[in-house]
Structure 1
Amino acid sequence: MRNNFKISIFLLILFSYSITTYSQKTYKDSIKTYFKQIEDLINYKDNYKEDFLSTETLLAQKELLSGTEKINTLLKLYTVNVYKSIQNARKYNQEALQLAINIGYKKGELSAKYNQAYLLFIEGDFDTSMTVTEEVSKIVKQSTYPETYSDINTLKSYIYTERGEYDLALEKGLELLDIAEKSNDEYALMRAYASLSHYYLRIENYSKALSYCLKGLHYVIKLRKIRYIYPKIDEIARMTAKLNDTERALETYAFYLEIEKKISPPGSYIQSVVYMNMADIYISNNAYDNAQNYLSKALVLNYENNYKFRVPRALILQAELFLKTKDTVNSIINYEKSIEAAESINAFDVVKSNSAILANLYKKTNQLSKAYEYKTIHNSIRDSLFNNEMEQKIIILETRRKIKEVTQKKKILELENEAQKAKSNFILLLLIFILIIVAFIVFSYLKVKSKNRLLYLRTIELTKVQLEMEEKLNELENAKAILKEDTNNDTSLKSSKTTIDNDVKNIILNKLEKLEKELFFIDPNCSLRQVAQLLKTNPKYLSQVINQEKKSNFNNYINELRINYLLSRLLKDEDFRNSKLSYVAASIGYNNLNTFNAAFKKRQGILPSYFINELIQESKQKIIS
């Protein structure tokens, strides 16, 4: 078994190396090819006049049109202005929305509502943007409004990524890609590749990000979606720089400037991120004056145009630049500003990473109280449920994706000329890789099956112990109540030695324990703010009490209450454990079955469906015996 395992590891490493080598040889050629196609598209733009219309031309057309044609022209005006002037883009989009509602043009109405959500995203208002997006999602279907469907799901992936909810971002991107491939929808493919490129860029897997970026660029050029050309060139430059090819990155920005001379400039939204990325490149090249020049321009554009989610990264770059020039004081100031900006848009991944950096910087400058403060912030966010990526789910999604890609490549390679030795060897390597995965899955299944059984037995045992303890605690509480009546007079004579904070904490704890008995946690809308209102305190105090006394954050605390309650009820109530899993989840406060499964498995190590099935089977066996 050990020898087989070593061989498997060796083959996996060989496979990864061959893929990496092949990618390095081809991505530069791919970039050149795509840039040549962009040049050709722009050089022959007179043949595609509808795709290169200016604001002035569209405004002139709008005055002559009515009905759906006028709405479509207003939506084009939004597209032309979205990266140049949010104010103008919103004005044209609002006019299109109102007109579409008036005449019952559903497609135009849904497109305009998506545009509303995207403008909110640009401004960093992720919560409101997601609310509008969810409203449109209830109506839009891939079969009826394919482009709006693709746009909406891409925007969801973007928002999840910016919030640091990377598992949801990846899931949404892969889901859209599957739909696009099945329907052979080129626009959907373009948008799916954009969402995946955005995701991998944020988790710093630059090789994958570049691969998806180039795939998306292919469809941008083919479909002549001119507004995406500038962002794609910028992304390529940024990713090649992160892959330590700064020369190629600067060449890409030179190409960007050449394109800017031939067609309308991209606008402040794109220009701000270009300046940031160029500053990043110059920082890595130790060209600090150039870096500061571009970074100053980026900060001005971000603040002037209220590009909230761009501000934290610009401040981080400024902080890194100060570190490079040995100015630790100003570096700390900018890291703290970046955290403040990130908190305003709920970008908790930025808060998490920067708080760790600040903890180290304060430690180095011997400011231990501040170091402790930021270390505590970092640990609390790192351990919170909100930022806990569902690693197993991501691995499953990635594995499915890889197997699908491998299968597709295999079919293509089998149809090609068998005389091409390199490709034949590659096919063989892929087949071996698939066999290794299959063998590993079989082995893992057998191992997991045994492990799940042990976890089930342990859960049953612990639940029974918990029920016994609850009965004893109830008896003790009754006795304690009698004793309390006798000691009330004595305790009233003693002076309080606790602080006001301890009194508040004890009051909150007592109220919280009463709420627990009332099963407040099975309310699906249960939140920190809601519970704080019930307890007549503020969310901050409640959060501190739960962290200190329950040794947990709020979400983990709620999940623990729900799962404990569920286990007890499953053991006692035969009808309940024979209910549908969706009903079981809803009855303890979970509207989403995936969330319920994840919470149960995180705590018990097994899925609830497995636990319930085993419990039912054991009950049947007892009846038979």
Structure 2
Amino acid sequence: MSLQKVQNDTIKKYIDDIRFLIENKEQLKEEFLDVNYLLRKNENSEGIEKVEVLLKLYSAYVFRSEQEAKRYNDEACELAEKIHYQKGKLKAAYNRAYMLFVKGNFEDSFKKVEELGSHVSYAEYPEIKADVDKLKSYIYTERGEYDLALELGLKSLDIAEKSKNDHLFMRAYASLSHYYLRKCNYKKALNFCLKGFHYILKLKKAYYIYPKLDEMARMSAKLNDIEGALYIYDFFLEVEKKIPPAGSYIQSVVYMNIADILMATDQFQKAQNYLVQSLQMIDEYHYNFRAPRALVLLGELYLKKKDTLNAIVAYEKSLDAAEKINAFDVVKSNSALLVTLCKRTKNLSKAYEYETLYKVINDSLFSNEKKQKIAILEARQQIKEVTQKKKLLEYQNKIQKAEIRTIWVVFVFSLLFGIFIVCVYIKTKQKNKFLYKKTLELAEVQLKMRTKIDFLEKEGGKEEINKKEPIAKVIDDDVKDVILLRLQKLEKELFFINSKCCLSGVAEQLKTNPKYLSQVINQEKKTNFNNYINDLRINYLLTRLIEDEEFRDNKLSYIAISVGFNNLNTFNTAFKKRQGILPSYFINELIQDKN
């Protein structure tokens, strides 16, 4: 019988055992970390029992809500200190180190677990010591310090075999499974995983079901048992419907592994959808140590789709993520692959950069972690110096050419813009000058006409003045003549400089009705009443500005009100409409001419 057949039979047996556990979950609420049950128990317990319940509440939330897990763990630690329960304090300390590991903060996690390890021993606290060694082994593996990870895993297994402690067996097999998984020895990884799963079921650690199912499915897929992997993931989804879901921490890696299987069966779009969901969870919940592998899978997916440029981007992001968590094995593998991809895309400077980085990490791997980091930093500095010098020469050449082009463009644009502005200025000035002269001529003509009218009136020449062209026979000629004579008299009395001047008011003064007055103005003056009044005001203003030097020195708002306008805006609008220039311009030119 082949090893794979034995392993498949073992997996199916364990799945049946899980089903049995789930069927009896009502009798195993504490083992399944039933939150409602634990909360009720927490309310009714005290002392050591309460500490243990709080620690289980931490376990119930550790893969679902970091905040809730931390809250219950801190509460357990405080109570344990208060009642001098040393084992509870040590468990809470381990939980803190594990939460840092989950976030990919390997350095701080390792410091805490090292400190904790100095206070525990297999003789006094065997289970806590096994947990500590398992976490240290995991961190060694994630850093790429495989020799240390293997050594610690084998040491833990030796201690478990001597003590015959089921918990120690479970932890030792987890360490070795994790190590061989990272070393891509999937047969051994699956073998140790199944051995560890035996003790998980024996100890009824139901909360480890999700991560172990995922591990078995992933390793089955790597051993080309795609059908077996899909069978396990189908069962995984079945379990989620019967007990509380795995939570984002487990779900993020499950999506990665499902994507990996889909890629193997050329279902690229589905694989990409799962990877995107996984990366979103990793980013949202800061599962930093998952990021390098998820991005590597994305890079592999792009390569399968023959999208080399996006593959390079994904591998570069993975390399950066790996450096942040000191995952030197990923730095090594990614830098080697990026050399090939950059050469393929003719990006030789990048290829040189990654080739230098690969040589440094390859030579320093399995040495002291600090030396590895220093070596990488030194290599990156050397790479930067070489590439920057090369790029600097290229950029200087480009910048010089660009600067010359820019100077010419700016010069030509400035010259054309300057010419345009000058032309507009000259044209506007000429136009305003012309309008000013026309306005001045009009004012002088009106002044002469007023003088002549005054003279003729004195000489009795009223009949000559009042001769008008015949208008439409809408009203009686006698009525019309009377209205015109009275209107002329009002004009001499400057009725229009009253700001309250209106059609009905003037009609009342003329002892006629507004309709007749409006008709006479429309037909005789060839305009409406408002324009007629504004024309009178402006004509009067022009002659007064010419005659009265003191008047033209007043503020413009005063001048506007003096001739009957209600405000400056109305005055400016009426004057410009009539003369084409603003009154301020006319007055300034007039003052300059007189000077």
TM-score bucket of the superposed structures, by smaller chain: 0.5 to 0.7
Q: Percent identity?
A: 56
| 1:79 and 2:35 are equivalent in the alignment | no
Unaligned runs of 5+ in 1: 1-20, 390-525, 533-537, 549-625
1:26 aligns with 2:26: no
Whole-Å separation in 2 of the counterparts to 1:528 and 1:383: 9
Task: Report Cα offsets for 1:93-149 as digits up to 9, x if no partner.
Answer: 111112211221100000000000100000001011111101111111112111111
1:136 to 116, 121, 135: 116
Given the alignment, which residue of 123, 133, 149 partners 2:103?
123
Using the TM superposition, give the Cα deviation of residue 356 of structure 1 relative to its aligned residue in structure 2, in angstroms. 0.6
CA contact (8 A) 1:137 1:152 kept: yes
TM value normalised by structure 1: 0.59
Query: Given that residues 217 and 228 in structure 2 are in contact (C-alpha distance below 8 angstroms), is that contact kept between their aligned partners in structure 1?
Result: yes
Q: Partner amino acid for 1:31?
A: I
1:51, distance to aligned residue in structure 2 (A):
1.3
Q: Secondary structure at the match of 1:262?
A: coil
What displacement does 1:388 show? Answer: 9.2
Q: 2:206: which partner in 1?
A: 226
Q: 1:366 aligns with which of 346, 354, 364?
A: 346
Output the amino acid matched with 1:307: Y
CA deviation after TM superposition for structure 1 residue 544, in Å: 5.7
**Separation in structure 2 between the aligned mates of residue 28 and residue 34 of structure 1, nearest angstrom:** 10
Alignment of 1:43-192 (within 5 A): 43-192=23-172
- Deviation, structure 1 residue 65: 2.2
> Relative to structure 2, which stretch is displaced further, 203-212 or 310-319?
310-319
Correspondence for 2:360 among 354, 376, 380: 380
**What is the DSSP-based 3-state SS (H/G/I as helix, E as strand, rest coil) of the residue aligned with 1:383?**
helix
- Counterpart CA distance in 2 for 1:355 and 1:290 is 28
1:139 and 1:231 map into 2 onto residues whose CA distance is: 29
Q: Distance in 1 between matches of 2:252 and 2:142?
A: 17
Is the contact made by 2:253 and 2:278 (CA closer than 8 Å) also made in structure 1? yes
Specify which of 277, 280, 287 is matched with residue 300 of structure 1. 280
Structure 2 CA distance for aligned equivalents of residues 211 and 65 of structure 1: 41
**Are 1:199 and 1:209, in contact at CA under 8 Å, matched by a contact in 2?**
yes
Q: Which residue of the partner structure matches residue 326 of structure 1? A: 306
Cα drift, residue 224 of structure 1: 0.6
List aligned pairs for 1:261-300, cutoff 5 A. 261-300=241-280
Cα distance in 1 for partners of 2:159, 2:2 equals 28
Q: How does 1:215-614 map to 2 (within 5 A)?
A: 215-386=195-366, 540=378
Match of 1:18 in 2: none
Poorly superposed stretches of 4+, deviation over 3 Å: 385-389, 526-530, 538-545
- State the Cα deviation string for residues 389-431 of structure 1 (Å, max 9, x = none): 9xxxxxxxxxxxxxxxxxxxxxxxxxxxxxxxxxxxxxxxxxx
Tell me, in whole angstroms, the C-alpha distance in 2 between the residues paired with 1:207 and 1:53: 32
Distance 1:72 1:54 in 2: 14
Partner of 2:178 in structure 1? 198
Distance 1:527 1:358 in 2: 23
Q: Alpha carbons of 1:385 and 1:53: their partners in 2 closer, same or farther (altered >3 Å)?
A: closer
In structure 1, what is the Cα distance between the partners aligned to 2:371 and 2:276?
41
Gaps of 5+ in 2: 387-595
RMSD of aligned Cα (Å): 2.5
Q: CA deviation at 1:313?
A: 0.8
Decide whether aligned partners of structure 1 residues 49 and 165 sit closer, same or farther in structure 2, where only a CA change above 3 A counts.
Answer: same
Residue identity opposite 2:79 in structure 1: L
Counterparts of 2:267 and 2:373, CA distance in 1 = 48
How many residue pairs match? The answer is 385
Cα 1:544–1:49 shift into 2, 3 Å: same
Q: CA deviation at 1:527?
A: 7.2
How far apart, CA to CA, are the structure 2 residues paired with 1:541 and 1:209?
34
Following the alignment from structure 1 to structure 2, what is the Cα–Cα distance between the partners of residues 386 and 298?
A: 30
Report what 2:414 is aligned to: none
TM-score, with structure 2 as normaliser: 0.62
Residue 540 (structure 1) shift = 4.3
Q: Secondary structure at the match of 2:306?
A: coil
C-alpha distance in structure 1 between counterparts of 2:218 and 2:189, whole Å: 10
Distance, in Å, in 2 between the alignment partners of 1:41 and 1:220 is 12
Determine if contact 1:349/1:387 at 8 Å carries over to the other structure: no
Amino acid at match of 1:306: H
Q: 1:159 to 1:103 in 2, by over 3 A?
A: same
Aligned-pair distance for 1:353?
A: 0.3
Q: Is the 8 A contact 1:164 1:387 kept in 2?
A: no
CA displacement 1:145-171 (0-9 Å, x = unmatched) = 111111000001000000000000001
What does 1:5-16 align with in structure 2 at a 5 Å threshold?
A: none
Provide the C-alpha distance between the structure 1 equivalents of 2:298 and 2:208, rounded to a whole number of angstroms.
Answer: 27
Which amino acid letter does the alignment assign opposite residue 264 of structure 2? Answer: S
- Give SS of 1:51's match: coil
State the Cα deviation string for residues 287-316 of structure 1 (Å, max 9, x = none): 011101111110111111100000111111
Q: 1:65 to 1:159 in 2, by over 3 A?
A: same
Q: Which amino acid aligns with 1:324?
A: K
> Partner of 1:266: helix, strand, or coil?
coil
Q: CA deviation at 1:327?
A: 1.1
Query: How many angstroms apart in 2 are the aligned matches of 1:310 and 1:53?
Result: 25
Q: Per-residue deviation at 1:90?
A: 1.1
The structure with more radius of gyration: 2
Distance change (3 Å), C-alpha of 1:542 and 1:343? closer
